């Protein structure tokens, strides 16, 4: 809302009268026939071409990591996988030892 409209509305509210209604704009397009060419969807190949152009422009915006960063991240992932594997192996070994000890204790092992 523009500043003039705000001032006009405030003065109308102070006076206690209703704001004058604005006349409705007549639709010129209601009488005209719709243009079929504008409403038509582009062809499949045009849409595929547009998709590839947009994809290319988005890929230009990507900041690719350097070789050193890629190597560093790869080493971190491999080390984390090894640590998680060792933790799972330790838990499995501990659980199987506890179950074996319980079975031996109760004479079923």
pLDDT in tens, 39-74: 688 899 999 999 999 999 999 999 999 999 999 999
pLDDT tens for each residue of 19-30: 555 555 555 555
What pTM does this model have?
Answer: 0.47
Alpha-carbon distances of 72 from 50, 80, 83, 101, rounded to whole Å: 37, 12, 17, 43
């Amino acid at each position: 809302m523009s500043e003039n409209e705000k001032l006009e509305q405030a003065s109308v509210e102070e006076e206690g009268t209703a704001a004058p209604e604005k006349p409705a704009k007549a639709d010129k397009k209601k009488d005209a026939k719709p243009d079929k060419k504008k409403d038509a969807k582009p062809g499949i190949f045009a849409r595929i071409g547009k998709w590839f152009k947009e994809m290319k422009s988005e890929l230009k915006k990507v900041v690719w990591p350097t070789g050193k960063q890629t190597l560093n991240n790869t080493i971190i992932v491999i080390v984390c996988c090894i640590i998680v594997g060792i933790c799972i192996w330790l838990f499995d070994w501990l659980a199987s030892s506890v179950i074996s000890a319980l079975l031996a204790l109760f004479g079923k092992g």
